[in-house]
Amino acid sequence: MARITNSNSKIVKLLMMLLGLEIIAISINMFYAPHGIAAGGATGIAILLKSAFGFNISLVVLLINIVMLVLAGIFLGKFTTFRIALGSVLLPICLALTPQIKVVQDPLLTVIVGGMIFAVGLSILYQIDASSGGTTVPPLIIKKYFGIKTSTSLLFIDGFICLMNVFVNGFETMFLAILSQILTTIVMNFIETGLDRKKVIYLMSENDLAEIKAKLGSLGKAQTIFNVTGGYTGHDREMLMVIVENPDLHQLLTTVRNIDSDAFILVSNATEAHGGIWADGETYGTKIMKPKKPSIL
């Protein structure tokens, strides 16, 4: 039974990889390539060579990926090479099988739609710890031998590819390529950190905390109480933690300020909250994961 489950898991992972790679191929062949926009990666190099010399995109990507696999085998070991090998071979196949047609005429709209589609495909690969190979290999080598973060070196590599648009298709295409990179990063971050976003509010009040707790309780807002100690005064106090949906944030803040205008309020984003009961009888948790940029209001 365990073998069957493991086999099914591998099949699902392979199908998801194929889906992610095909989505990437669609973004390249139907959005970027027809407009000659090279937005980084091996596919970006292929688009530049196609625009300049008429080379076949899928063939160029395959050759680049083969070179990258050789480098990975030499410098990164068998495990990393094996992990990126399948995607390195399948992506050129997907590019070869996907028709290259101009779906959108406007270049700006092409970048917006194409960047979002590319981000979805790449996010699927990241979710299953897969890779399409290409320019993801040099950053891994640089990190191993020089300690530079992969995100930093990959940014420089993709940025250089974007700048090369100037010599092939002009400044406008370069700016579109950079815009595409920014948009893809934003969409990927949004997808990877979850769509079920909530707000975590930390509250402290000098004299009115009991009233705030009672009022929030009457509104159906579950609360978690922390015993905290002031770092300067050394006084022990209580701090409330409340998790709410984004639309409920304004109501909660208004309620607290109407009771105590001087209350300490710290708001943070939570991209995952599950387990337990925290609001309006809904089963969600007080386990906060991936907090982002807390802001004092």
Q: What is the pLDDT of residues 100-119, one digit of tens each?
A: 999 999 999 999 999 999 99
pLDDT digits (tens, 9 = 90+) for 228-262: 888 888 888 889 998 888 778 888 888 899 999 89
The number of beta carbons lying within 10 Å of the beta carbon of residue 95 is: 26
- Compute the radius of gyration of the chain from its Cα atoms: 25
The pLDDT of 200-207, averaged and rounded, is 89
pLDDT at 287: 39
Q: 198-296 has which fold?
A: Alpha-Beta Plaits (3.30.70)
Using the predicted structure, report yes or no on whether residue 285 has a pLDDT greater than 50. no
Residue with more model confidence, 60 or 224: 60
Instruction: Give residues with Cβ within 8 angstroms of 147, minimum separation 6.
Output: none
pLDDT above 70: residue 196? no
Q: What pLDDT does residue 277 have?
A: 53
Q: Which residues pair with 268 in a beta bridge?
A: 200
Q: Break the chain into its structural domains and give their ranges.
A: 2-192, 198-296
Would you state the pLDDT for residue 48?
Answer: 95
* Mean pLDDT score across all residues of the chain: 84
Is pTM, for the whole model, over 0.75?
Answer: no
**pLDDT, mean of residues 216-223:** 80
Task: Say if residue 13's pLDDT is above 70.
Answer: yes
Model confidence at 194, pLDDT cuts 50, 70, 90, reads: low
Give the mean pLDDT of 187-211.
Answer: 82
Confidence of residue 29 (pLDDT cuts 50, 70, 90): very high
Range scoring the smallest mean pLDDT among 13-22, 123-132, 271-280: 271-280
Most confident region among 53-57, 77-81, 132-136, 269-273 by mean pLDDT: 53-57
Specify the pLDDT at position 286: 39
What average pLDDT score do residues 37-59 get? 94
| Amino acid at position 72, single letter | A
Taking only the tens place, the pLDDT of each residue in 154-189 is 889 999 999 999 999 999 999 999 999 999 888 887
Question: CA–CA separation, 27 vs 35, rounded Å?
Answer: 12
Q: Percentage of the chain with pLDDT > 90?
A: 45
Residue 14 above 60 pLDDT?
yes
